[in-house]
Amino acid sequence: MNIDAYRERNRTRQQIRQGGAIANLNDGIEIEIHGVPTRLIAWPGNGFQTQSVHVLTLAPGVESERYTYDMAEEAMICLKGGGEVFLRGRWVDIVPGDIVFYPERTPRAMRNPASNDRDFVLVTQIAPPEFGLYAPAGFYDQTKGVMVDDALEAAKARATSDQLSPENEMRLSESHPELRAWNLSVDEIRRDGALFNAYKGAAFGGLDVPMVLVLWPGYGVRSTGFHFGRMDAGQVAHLHSHPVSDEAVINWSAAATSTSTAPGCRPARSMSRSPPAAWCTAVGCRPTPASPSSRAGSPRRRNSTSTSTRRSTTTGRSTRRPGARSTRRQPPAVMAEATRHRSTRRV
Ligand SMILES: [Fe+2]
């Protein structure tokens, strides 16, 4: 099958919105955002409406601006190299496979120490998209509130490809336990963010393939999302759709086939291939409210004295203070052993 017709670079924004496309982390328009070279993979310029997915490449010595988003959550997965992120008020070193989650209005930044000898590469998800990021490059008209198709198409025609190495460097890491989501309450995660890892999550078998729910509403996440799965030869995932969300399925290793990688709610997708493949879903806005197949475990009751919610002495109903966020639910238990076992297999 000739897949050139399905390539993102060969389809218009409207065609992608209707039927999806096949993109590549090496391919796409590159601009500078917050002081960092940023490749635009999935974004409003190619039809995505509920999330943006970017690839950030920081050479040794590069540091981003410190910034926040008023409404969007942001999740960053370290793909290659390693570096530092500003999380929960301090700089933290992360390795490939680590995922950093920032709720809206939390300060963030990233840097690659000059002492490193490799690029620090991150795949980020911003949900919902921050349209203003694309205005300085001329891709978004802030006055009219529309994307500028002529500028988009011209930039796409000029875009050059990157050459990321094909090796999967991602691995399980449990460093900085005080920052890990599984050691924090939902309130704490929603307020200041947390550190996740692609190989550690709640087991989920809803699509007939082994998956872990990594970044999902069980941890208080609202609009970003990240699931990680692995398929053996011959396996076929369930056809499914998402009622609201766009979805980006990223193949981290091996190969796969899909009925569609379309954004939007209409297309369903399946995967079947020969060699084992590892993939993940990054769902923007309203992650699928799926229930993990693992036992959720006993909720912890940290922050039982939280001031974010108080019970009214007159009505008996809970009242929330202005500006307070989140529920007091606790994260589910994670399937560490199963995840660790999977992480030792080739993915
Ligand atoms: Fe999906």
Structural domain spans, the chain = 4-158, 202-303+322-344
Q: In the structure, what pLDDT confidence band is assigned to residue 258 with cuts at 50, 70 and 90? A: low
Q: Stretch 89-111: mean pLDDT, rounded?
A: 98
Cα of first residue to Cα of last residue in the chain, in angstroms, is 25
pLDDT at 2: 76
Q: In the structure, what pLDDT confidence band is assigned to residue 94 with cuts at 50, 70 and 90? A: very high
Is the predicted pLDDT of residue 209 greater than 70, yes or no?
yes
Cα gap 334→216, rounded to integer Å: 12
272 alpha carbon to ligand 1 midpoint, in Å? 14
pLDDT at 229: 86
Is the predicted pLDDT of residue 318 greater than 70, yes or no?
no
CATH code reported for the domain at 4-158 = 2.60.120.10
159 alpha carbon to ligand 1 midpoint, in Å? 29
Is the predicted pLDDT of residue 296 greater than 50, yes or no?
no
pLDDT at 311: 33
190 alpha carbon to ligand 1 midpoint, in Å? 24
Q: Stretch 211-239: mean pLDDT, rounded?
A: 89
Q: Of the given ranges (52-56, 99-103, 307-311), which has the lowest mean pLDDT?
A: 307-311
* Residue with token string 């560490």: 336
39 alpha carbon to ligand 1 midpoint, in Å? 23
16 alpha carbon to ligand 1 midpoint, in Å? 17
83 alpha carbon to ligand 1 midpoint, in Å? 30
Q: Stretch 110-127: mean pLDDT, rounded?
A: 97
Question: Architecture of domain 202-303+322-344 in CATH?
Answer: Sandwich (2.60)
Same topology for domains 4-158 and 202-303+322-344, yes or no?
yes
248 alpha carbon to ligand 1 midpoint, in Å? 8
Three-state secondary structure readout of 112-160: CCCCCCCCEEEEEEEECCCHHHHCCCCCEECCCCEECHHHHHHHHHHCC
Cα gap 80→251, rounded to integer Å: 15
Tell me the torsion sign for CA atoms 157, 160, 164, 170. negative
Structure tokens at 256: 């796969």
pLDDT above 90: percentage of residues in the chain: 56
Q: In the structure, what pLDDT confidence band is assigned to residue 208 with cuts at 50, 70 and 90? A: confident
Please state whether beta strands 30-33 and 194-197 pair in parallel, antiparallel, or not at all (unpaired). unpaired
243 alpha carbon to ligand 1 midpoint, in Å? 10
313 alpha carbon to ligand 1 midpoint, in Å? 44
Q: Stretch 156-174: mean pLDDT, rounded?
A: 93
Q: Of the given ranges (179-193, 228-242, 279-293, 308-322), which has the lowest mean pLDDT?
A: 308-322
pLDDT in tens, 197-207: 999 999 988 88
Specify the higher pLDDT residue, 2 or 139. 139
246 alpha carbon to ligand 1 midpoint, in Å? 9
90 alpha carbon to ligand 1 midpoint, in Å? 34
pLDDT in tens, 44-87: 999 999 999 999 999 999 999 999 999 999 999 999 999 999 99
Q: CA-based diameter of the chain, in Å? A: 68
156 alpha carbon to ligand 1 midpoint, in Å? 27
270 alpha carbon to ligand 1 midpoint, in Å? 9
Query: What is the distance of C-alpha 302 from the center of its chain?
Result: 27
Q: Of the given ranges (110-114, 185-189, 259-263, 327-331), which has the lowest mean pLDDT?
A: 327-331
Is the predicted pLDDT of residue 288 greater than 60, yes or no?
no
| Exposure b/e, 208-227, CB count within 10 A at least 16 = b | ebbbbbbbbbbbbbbbbbbb
Q: Which one-letter DSSP state was computed for residue 238? A: P
251 alpha carbon to ligand 1 midpoint, in Å? 13
216 alpha carbon to ligand 1 midpoint, in Å? 13
Cα gap 86→93, rounded to integer Å: 9
241 alpha carbon to ligand 1 midpoint, in Å? 6
Would you say the pTM of this structure is higher than 0.85? no
240 alpha carbon to ligand 1 midpoint, in Å? 6
